[in-house]
Amino acid sequence: MKIGFVGLGSMGQAIAINLLKGGHELWVWNRSSAPVQALVDLGAKAAGNPQQAFAADIVFSMLADDQALRSVLLDSGLLKTLNAPLIHVNLATIAVAFAEELAALHEAQGVAYIAAPVMGRPNVAASGQLNILAAGPAAAIDQVQPLLDLIGRKTWRLGEKASSANAMKLATNFLLVAAVEAMGEATVLVNGYGIESADLIDLISNTIFTGPVYSGYGALMAKRTYEPAAFKASLGLKDVNLILAAAEKVAVPLPTAELVRENLLDAMAHGEGNMDLAVLAQVAERRAKSN
């Protein structure tokens, strides 16, 4: 099968490698050349432009944000050149409204569009253990399922409305950032009483809050090690903005998300945007000292 892949950031590159291991012909494109060369060295073919990557049976995209995807696919006029039986699988976390727009534009073009945002950090992607939230035409998802099985541990099918997958992903990301925010505040609280952050993290991650969010982000907080980032604070801010936009559309107040947004803006203002989302603990510590 001929597969295209557009967007080779840390997540995209890890996912593309697992598709390549499946023995498929993989054409890859990225704005910068280094990730492309890394895949070529493993057996992929370099696409000179996005159009060449989309000249495939199935194309996966994992671009950084709505603007990047809009630029590559819509502003360039690329989508208007595509035809069935192409299937486009978008793995990125994007706005619900943009997902609805993309689904309508693909349908008008006769091209199947699947929203399939993923859950997991780059190390999870590398091991092929992502959770994939998939929504779109059932027959198209059936066709790409063997490929999804190469990159994920489970595909959670959420119906034919593509944007449902994006709404679900934003809800899970809201829970994630809220948990990291609360954990950061809690570490500062125990520090105030002379208790090490590591002791709190060890306790909660082995009792009431088991799982990768608390053990993973908690470990970074305990060590105060926020670089290199697996999930940058700047990307966390992007997602929180998408969460708040989705909530506003259906008139759902999310005061916790507003608070996290404020603290992520604080991180950005202090030059911490490229640090891991766990830097929210540092923001909480800074704010406590200023009181």
Q: Which active-site residues does the annotation give? A: 169
User: Residue 71 gets which letter from DSSP?
Assistant: I
- Sequence-distant (6+) residues with CB within 8 A of 245 are 95, 96, 97
| 3-state SS assignment for residue 137 | coil
For every residue of 205-244, DSSP letters joined together read HTTTT-SHIIIIIHHHHHHT---S-SSBHHHHHHHHHHHH
Q: Which tokens is 168 given?
A: 């679900």
Decide: 219 and 277 in contact? Cβ < 8 Å: no
Query: How far is Cα 152 from Cα 129, in angstroms, rounded to an integer?
Result: 5
Q: Which tokens is 39 given?
A: 């895949």
What is the sign of the dihedral through the CA atoms of 183, 243, 130 and 14?
negative
Cα 137 to Cα 59, 116, 142, 236, distances in angstroms: 15, 12, 9, 30
Q: Which tokens is 249 given?
A: 């559309």
